[in-house]
Structure formats: C-alpha cells, structure tokens
Structure 1
Amino acid sequence: MPIAQPLSRGSGLVLHPTSLPGPHGSGDFGAGAYHLVDWLEAGGQTLWQMLPLGGIGLGHSPYMSSSAFAGNVLLVDLYELERRGWLTAEELAPPDFPSRRVDYERVIPWRMERLARAAQRFAQRATAAEREELQAFRGAEATWLPDYALFMALAEAHEGRAWMDWPADLAWREPAALRAAREALRERIAFWEFAQWCFRRQWEYLHRYAGERGVRLVGDMPIFIALQSADVWAHPELFELGADGRPTVVAGVPPDCFSAEGQRWGNPLYHWSAHAEEGYAWWTERLRRTLALVDIVRIDHFRGFAGYWEIPATEPSAIHGRWRPGPGAALFEAAARALGQLPVIAEDLGLITPDVEALRRRLGFAGMRVLQFAWGDPAAGGEPRFLPHQHARDAVVYTGTHDNDTTVGWWASADEALRHHLREYLATDGRTIHWDLIRAACASVADLALFPMQDALGLDGTHRMNRPGTATGNWAWRFDWTMVPGDTAARLRRMAALYGRLPGADGLGAAT
C-alpha cells in the first residue's frame, strides 16, 4: 500500500488564526475565521494553511507547545461561550487592544480570565446534554487529556517551574502523589478539560464549514516539542533525558551560510530506540489526532527523520553537534498500517542531503519549494532546484513561508544581481513583485501552491510573522479587511482558473 495520500491540485493562503481580525486582541475561531473561508471560496482558493494549533510557548511561539495533542485555548471564540450563557456581553466588551498585532502580555490574561469564568458557569448551569458532550470528549481523548490537564494544573500550582524541579514524587509521577494532586487540583483540572473541549468543538464546526465550501485545512506539526510539556513529563522514557529529567542532548541545526553558530533550539531529542520498541505508538497516536483535525499536515523539519543534529545540552551553541540517524521510513510505515495513507507535506528545507530526498521519495510525500530561495548565488543560499522550471508534481510551491520576509520586503532588500535574474526570468519590472511570484507559483506543475496572506496583500517587511533567531517580537502580526484591496479575491480566482487550480479543474486551465 502506498504510504502517501495523493494531493489534488489547488492553491491557497498561509495565515495563522491569531492573525485574523476580531475584537478580543487576537484572531480566533469566531466570525473572522468563517469570513476568511467565504473569501477563500470566492477567490477560488482550496487551501488554508496555518501554523501549529497547539498552545504557545517561549516567545509566544506555536512551535514550543506544552502538549503534542492539546489545542491553543487562546483561539476559543468567546462570543460562542456568550451565546451558550457562560459569559455576559459586558464581560466581552474588549479593552483597547491593537487591531494589527497581538499584544500577548495583555491578551493572554484577559482571555484566560474569561475562559475561567465560562468554566465556572458551565459547572453551575450546564445542561445534561452539554455535560454528556464534555464527558464523551473526555472519553475520546483519554490517551492524553488526563495527563495534560493535570500537568497544566501542576505547572500553575508550582508557578511555572520546570516539571523536573517539582517535588520528586510529582516529577516522577508516583501514583499516590498523582491521586492526591488530582483531588487537590480538581477544579483547575476541570478548567483545562473544559477549555480543550471548547477548542475542539469550535474547531470541528469551522473544519466542517470549510470542507462544505471546498477549502482544505492544512495543519503544521513540529517534529519536536518543549521540555516543559505534558508529553515529556508523562513519557520521559521516550526522550533523551538524564536521571534528573533534564536533556542530555538537545535539538538544533548546524552552522550554515545563514548562521555561523547554527541554531540551538533546545528541545529534548527523542529516544528513538524506545519509540521503535513500542512500534511508534506515540507517533502514530500523534498523527491520528492531528489528521482528525486537518485535511493535510505539514511536518516541520522532515530531515530530522532521516538524520538530526544532536547538540550536547552543555553546549551554548549548535557548533559542536553531530549528525545522528533518525527513524527513517519505519515510523511512517507503522503509522500508515494503523491509519491508512497519510496526506503529508514534508518540510524539506535547509541542509537536504541525498538520504533525506531518498526518504521523502520512498514515502511519496510532497516536498516544499520556496520561490524566495530560488534565485541568487547558491554559495549564499540560493536554491536552483526551487526555480519553477525545476519543479515536480509531488511538491508544494510557496512564495515564502512564515519564516521569510514578505515578498515585497524581500525584493526591497535584494541585491542587484538577484533582481536582474528575476527581471529576466519573470519578465517583470518588480513593481508588483508579489503578484509576479504568486503567478509563478500558480503556474508551477507542483500540485499545491501556497502564499502568505501578506504576499496576497502586497505588504512590506514590517508585516512579517517571524524572524528566525530572534526571541521576541514574533508571531504577533494581524490584518484587518480594510487592508485587503477589493479586487484581490477576483485576481486570485482568475489565476486559479488560468492555471487549473480551481475545484474540478483538469490542470490545463479548464474545468472538467
């Protein structure tokens, strides 16, 4: 049986829900998300890709979640909780939050306090049907929810200290200590279960709405998770930890032309032999839960499954690491036996060696091609294999990703040699460079074409989502509909029609 599920031709946008318009300080699963789906449908777009949907971690990054399974409760639509009678209109009168960025320091406590009020009122006045629905959710998510809710309650009780610094009986999960903690913290445990139920309910409504309108949701799964997470605490045997619970080695990438010291991410690495011994059950469950939420999943840092950069935890940078073999195809073969064909995009950017490409091809997963990386001197990071005439069907072409500058910002900072190459290749003067790259992406033979919302809007580099290697100021970008030119959806639809990316198109610019 082939492992990869084929991906039908289409195009769409990259936009995290936090970037959506909305009155409560950040985008969420409320009216703004449904309006975006309608706008995508009107624009002939069949894909909406977002960043990881898990809880945010250090620097508000969605790539440092406290759980591989739980959702980000800051995305819960508070108005839906009001409609259920768990919040009042007065409680939802928003402070003067900025509309074009997320002020996390203000938004997080404000939203979390309202979620807590909603949980209290649910406990007081929920209907029998609502209580049964929550109980059914608890049963369906029993493989991860009890550990997650207890972990979050304990982390609060210990004022955010790392789990290995908790009292030893809690850090190492002695049964009597866990029973006592569940009793002492039952209200906060109930809160975290309630919040996850709200996240899941609302997401499932949005997912169904998008599917009915021909929009496939593309999720993002980080390969690594945070040390301060329910998964590492509950399953320390699956990670490379010392006797004190701290990592002996951590994740990152080696030095390259972009960074003389490489990148030391600091996530704990997997104890791959332990995963193999359990038949990759934890990974299979992780993929199962992710694919229950989204239609396609982008797996971040795919190269780490072929080989990963192991850095001693005592090293302050990534320089003194070494390559170690990953699990290879065995992990995905085990998952496919349990789950069937996997609709996966493999993030194969960076230092891609022949073994990584061989693994991707063996599995049949679509790789990534980023147009901003296509032009320029290879010695300075240019990737000629990303040029449109080099693309293959089993690929996803992006103008840029959340880690790139916007296309307008990238063009503004490009040197003259790169600009000359683009002018010749795309027959452009650069005045609408964002549309030039979107057109090149749509025209590509690659099955999927995706572009950040910032590129569809022609925004400059002040609107980028993330600057890799910087610890603060990221993940906060938002837009509002006054920033969207009135012809944008129609222009996207014309391109989707011209290049065979409309639903039901035959790939030659005509509908079948």
Structure 2
Amino acid sequence: MDITSQKSAEEASGRYCGILAHPTSFPSPYGIGDLGKGAFDFIDFLKKSGQSLWQLLPTGPTGFGNSPYQLFSAFAGQPLLISPDRLRESDLLKKDDFLDIPYFPRDSVDYGAVIKFKTKLLRKAFSNFQKMNNADLCAEYDVFCEKHSFWLEDYTLFMAAKEAHNGIEWLSWEDSLALLSPSGKAAWKAKLASETDYHAFVQFIFYKQWFELKEYANSNGIRIIGDIPIFAALDSADVWACRELFNLDSKGFPVSVAGVPPDYFSTTGQLWGNPLYDWDFHRNDCYSWWISRVRHQLELYDFVRIDHFRGFEAYWSIPFGSTTAENGHWVKGPGKELFLALEKELGRNLPIIAEDLGVITPEVDDLRDSFHFPGMKVLQFAFTDGRDNTLMPHYFKSNCVCYTGTHDNDTTLGWYGGLDTRTQDWVRRYMNTGGSLINWAFIRTALGSVAKYAIIPLQDVLSLGSESRMNTPGTRDGNWVWRYYQKDLSAELASHMKQLTELYGRHPETSVWHEQSGFATLNSRGPQS
C-alpha cells in the first residue's frame, strides 16, 4: 500500500474536528513554546476534549520577521522548537546549563532574546554530543544524515555560510559563494565543516523530538495537519542551492515575485516577495523537487494543507522591485499536471487540504475537485459579500474544512467587535445567539455543519480577543508571538468541547447522540471564566 492509501482509507467516512495551535504558542519556561511538556500536554487536552485533529503552521526555520511562511528551508525544522528539557533527559544538557535562564514573558515570544538563549543551549548540547560515548545516538545521527542528505547538505552549508556573513541574505555574499559552482561548493564545505556539523546535529535533534511527539499524538488518536507554503523564501537554501527551479536572473535576483491582488486583507494587495517557480524546468524534470517536498511533508504529518493552493492554477506575478502588489498580473500555473505527477509517485487520494481562499475561479474549483481535495470555509468570511455568499454554512458541501477563522484572521470575538451594528445583527440572527460569546456560536456552527472536518483556532476556544491574534497580513510587527498559559486548558473547557464534539457526531468514539450523554444540561454559552 502506498504512503497515502492507508490515510485516505481511514478518512473515507466520518466527521472529524480539531484545534489550530502553533507550537510556539505552547507554555514553556524558555520564552517560546517547544516540543516538550507543553506539546504533550496539548495532545492530552485534545484527547480529553474529544478532538481527532491538530493543525499547526509550518515548522521550518524562520527568517526576518519570524514568519513561518518565510523559511530558510522547505525541508528543515525550526531549531527554536527544540525542547531544552528533553535535551537534558538525553544527557545532552546538564543541570548547570539551566542556571542562567533569563526572564521571558509567558504570554508572548521575544524572538531576539529566545534566539540568543536557545542558540547558546544548542551549542552546548552539540559540544556534549561530540564528547559523549553514546553509540546508539551516534548511529541514529548517521542514519538521519544519510536519509536526509538530499536537502540537509545544502541547508547546513547555507546556514553556516549565512552565519559567516553575519546573517545577511545570500544575494549579498561574494559571487564565489552566492553563485556556487560544484568546485566552489566543495571548498566552502571544507572551510565551514564544523559549522555544518552543528546545523546537522540541530536538525537531527529537531526531527528526533518531532517524531517522538507525532508518535504520541497518533497513539492517542490525534492526527496532525501540517502546512506547506506554496512558495520558497528568496533568502533560503532552496533558492540559493537550486536556482534553476526559480525564475531568476543571472545574478540570482527574481525577475518577478509572488503576492496577491487587493483583497479582504489589504487594499493594495499583499506583496510577499517570494521568487516564482520556473514551471517549465519543473515540468521537464518531472516535478521531482515537488515530489520530494510533498513526500517529506507526508512523513512529518498525517495531512498537509497547501497554502495559496490557487497559485497552482494561476499565480499573481509582480515585477521585482514593486512597492505594492497592485501592478501584477495572472500567469497560468502547472495545474493538474503537477498533481498527476504526485499521484503517480505517491499514490492516489493524497491527504491534501487546499487553501482556496481569495480570488477563486471555476478553474481553481475544478483543480481542487478533480483530486478530491477538501477546500476551506472560513465562517468570518461568510458575512462579507451579502446573503448569497457561498461561504454561508447552508451552502456547504461535505468535502471541506470549516474554520471559525485562520491564523490570518482576527479572533472571532475581536472580529465581531469590529463589525458595524447592522452586520453584528445579521451575525446574531444567523447564529441564533445574543452575541455575548459569539465565538461559541461560531464553534457550534462549525461543528454542526456538514463539513467533514472542522478546525477551531485555540484563541476562539479560549474566548480571546484581538490582543491574541496570531498574524495581521500586511504588517511586520507583533505577529507570531501569542502564547497561552497551561491553566487555560482547564478540565472544564475540555469537558465542554468533548460534549459539543459528541453532540455533533465528531467524537472519534461517538458518532450519534445517545440518552446517556447529558446534552440536555449542556451550557450553550461555553465554560464560564
């Protein structure tokens, strides 16, 4: 059986729900959520609350702005997510290494301070790894490096070279390194060998911790939805080492860049700045890079959401150097050909969720539906375009994922508070609620819809306002920093979520209402604070 058949067979029927929360938001004493106790506690909360899915954002190493959608690699893991406590359990860190933990805010991430502190710990762990006599761990490391060599060698050299150049982007490096030849690559690998070894070790530890967490989640009935940004960041190992995959000039600069036209989030569009793919090269290469990328992600996760799925049908091409996204134009993408190539190598019924938000055409719908990919329905968007908006739940078809909001939306309470009174009245009447806790009305609507999958951002489960928003598109400051407290995941909250999950037939062990479940006394407003 291929790598997708078993997963898709399990999803052939049923109704599922889960929570969207990025690991950076988990509680920990080290300034940022990680793959340690906070992550395992979150899995326990999902199980207790009757959930079967955990969705997270991309888990790669972030660059300037800390956005998980602008990564140094399409394959590598985020070093900041490595758990220091689990390093200590593996004897890679000692008690004395934790004596100088600085003060960190518990409700947000101070990335500058976290990077400095965690890098120091990871350097110490690498030093201890080099000195320790642990044959089993060393053998694991060797196996990891061999298996992942197809991306690891380029990534570790890229990161080592980046550090040797004080973090500046690769386009500003000397030509002998920026426009690397095979002979030049060998010379730089020899020169930076100790640093490339360090970065390989960090990736080994990330993957080791990740797969242990994934095994725990899966063993508790929780399947994980990962996230693939459609485009690679310009300042990434992928673009630097594989320039032929992208539409670049002879110096490595993009000819045109990615974004979206003016939309709900921005009147001037969104200028992402990612280089666009040379799809002719990918086609002639039988889409091998994309096949490797998707195969890799399906080892990490049980499902993958592809961000900006519509870009495979047509993408917004903006001249390089533009200051807004307004002057772009649509260019046809690879369409069905790419997904046929993926199916040929990875199997049919790929467990892919299509992020089909924004300007969606019948051609995008056809691409999504031809491969039976569930699309996304965001309830906040249902109240933006009049009463005949197809995002209204009564228009749903079952093969979709219903969200109250996404990482790019305001929280439901924050969103509702910013509406005009007329729209607020429409929302209240549609949701059949007084509006005091509109987030719970949205959660009930998502869970009660015909959508096969329902995903709720944790901020909505916790009844939080705009101060807890994860990202505001088009802005640079204050994004990706939100964190919660462990006490927020209370037994009362888990019980309430479980009751709703059972009520709407989404609990993994309960598909129909039964007399003993106690729904008659369910507090429809949610747990009281």
When normalised by structure 2's length, the TM-score is 0.93
- The aligned counterpart of 1:339 is 346
Out of 32, 36, 39, the residue aligned to residue 30 of structure 1 is 36
Inter-partner Cα distance in structure 1 for 2:343 and 2:222: 24
- The aligned counterpart of 1:140 is 147
Q: Which letter maps to 2:63?
A: G
Deviation at 1:391, TM superposition (A): 1.1
Inter-partner Cα distance in structure 1 for 2:405 and 2:321: 34
Out of 471, 476, 481, the residue aligned to residue 471 of structure 1 is 476
Deviation at 1:510, TM superposition (A): 6.1
- The aligned counterpart of 1:266 is 273
1:366 and 2:367 are equivalent in the alignment: no
1:291 and 2:294 are equivalent in the alignment: no
Q: Which letter maps to 1:318?
A: A
Out of 111, 118, 123, the residue aligned to residue 116 of structure 1 is 123
Secondary structure at the counterpart of residue 240 of structure 1:
coil
Out of 128, 146, 150, the residue aligned to residue 157 of structure 2 is 150
- The aligned counterpart of 2:85 is 79
1:402 and 2:407 are equivalent in the alignment: yes
- The aligned counterpart of 2:8 is 5
Contact 1:501 1:509 in 2 (8 A): no
1:44 and 2:50 are equivalent in the alignment: yes
- The aligned counterpart of 1:68 is 74
Inter-partner Cα distance in structure 2 for 1:82 and 1:485: 28
Q: Which letter maps to 1:48?
A: W
Inter-partner Cα distance in structure 1 for 2:127 and 2:211: 23
Out of 417, 424, 436, the residue aligned to residue 422 of structure 2 is 417
Out of 245, 264, 278, the residue aligned to residue 252 of structure 2 is 245
Inter-partner Cα distance in structure 2 for 1:305 and 1:377: 25
Q: Which letter maps to 2:474?
A: G
Deviations 1:137-174 (A, max 9, x none): 01110110001101110111112222232222222222
Q: Which letter maps to 2:383?
A: W
Aligned pairs for 1:320-331 within 5 A: 320-331=327-338
Q: Which letter maps to 1:396?
A: V
Secondary structure at the counterpart of residue 250 of structure 1:
strand
Cα separation, partners in 2 of 1:395 and 1:225, compared to 1, 3 Å: same
Contact 2:179 2:251 in 1 (8 A): no
Out of 234, 244, 249, the residue aligned to residue 227 of structure 1 is 234
Out of 494, 497, 510, the residue aligned to residue 499 of structure 2 is 494
Instruction: Structure 2 unaligned segments of length 5 or more: list them.
Output: 516-529
The number of residue pairs the alignment matches comes to 507
Inter-partner Cα distance in structure 2 for 1:127 and 1:486: 41
Deviation at 1:257, TM superposition (A): 5.2
Cα separation, partners in 2 of 1:169 and 1:366, compared to 1, 3 Å: same
Contact 2:45 2:489 in 1 (8 A): no
Inter-partner Cα distance in structure 1 for 2:385 and 2:316: 26
Out of 173, 176, 188, the residue aligned to residue 181 of structure 1 is 188
Cα separation, partners in 2 of 1:75 and 1:383, compared to 1, 3 Å: farther
Inter-partner Cα distance in structure 2 for 1:52 and 1:376: 28
Contact 2:310 2:364 in 1 (8 A): yes
Contact 2:265 2:473 in 1 (8 A): no
- The aligned counterpart of 2:315 is 308
Contact 1:373 1:383 in 2 (8 A): no
Question: Which has the larger displacement, 450-459 or 414-423?
Answer: 414-423
Deviation at 1:415, TM superposition (A): 1.1
Deviations 1:343-386 (A, max 9, x none): 011000011111111111111100000011111444xxx88211
Contact 2:38 2:486 in 1 (8 A): no
Secondary structure at the counterpart of residue 161 of structure 2:
helix
Contact 1:375 1:383 in 2 (8 A): no
Cα separation, partners in 2 of 1:376 and 1:101, compared to 1, 3 Å: same
Deviation at 1:200, TM superposition (A): 0.4
Out of 447, 450, 456, the residue aligned to residue 445 of structure 1 is 450
Deviations 1:166-187 (A, max 9, x none): 2222222222222221112111
Deviations 1:198-244 (A, max 9, x none): 00000000000000110011101100111111111111011010011
Aligned pairs for 1:424-443 within 5 A: 424-443=429-448
**Root-mean-square deviation (Å):** 1.7
- The aligned counterpart of 1:98 is 105
Q: Which letter maps to 1:366?
A: P
Contact 1:457 1:485 in 2 (8 A): no
Question: Which has the larger displacement, 336-345 or 113-122?
Answer: 336-345
Deviations 1:47-105 (A, max 9, x none): 11000011112211010000000010110011111122221223224211000000111
Inter-partner Cα distance in structure 1 for 2:332 and 2:362: 13
When normalised by structure 1's length, the TM-score is 0.96
Inter-partner Cα distance in structure 1 for 2:301 and 2:108: 26
Contact 1:500 1:510 in 2 (8 A): no
Cα separation, partners in 2 of 1:509 and 1:330, compared to 1, 3 Å: farther
Deviation at 1:189, TM superposition (A): 0.4
Cα separation, partners in 2 of 1:259 and 1:84, compared to 1, 3 Å: closer
- The aligned counterpart of 1:354 is 362
Contact 1:240 1:271 in 2 (8 A): yes
- The runs of 4+ residues in structure 1 deviating greater than 6 Å are 1-4
Contact 1:41 1:214 in 2 (8 A): yes
Cα separation, partners in 2 of 1:210 and 1:236, compared to 1, 3 Å: same
Secondary structure at the counterpart of residue 114 of structure 1:
helix
Inter-partner Cα distance in structure 1 for 2:453 and 2:50: 13
Cα separation, partners in 2 of 1:252 and 1:149, compared to 1, 3 Å: same
Deviations 1:317-345 (A, max 9, x none): 11111100011011111111111131011
Deviations 1:116-150 (A, max 9, x none): 11011101114111111100001110110001101
Contact 2:53 2:223 in 1 (8 A): yes
Secondary structure at the counterpart of residue 149 of structure 2:
coil
Contact 1:218 1:296 in 2 (8 A): yes
Aligned pairs for 1:166-205 within 5 A: 166-205=173-212
Question: Which has the larger displacement, 156-165 or 289-298?
Answer: 156-165
Deviations 1:241-298 (A, max 9, x none): 0011000100001123543321111000000010011111000000000000000111
Instruction: Structure 1 unaligned segments of length 5 or more: list them.
Output: none
Deviation at 1:111, TM superposition (A): 0.4
Secondary structure at the counterpart of residue 466 of structure 1:
coil
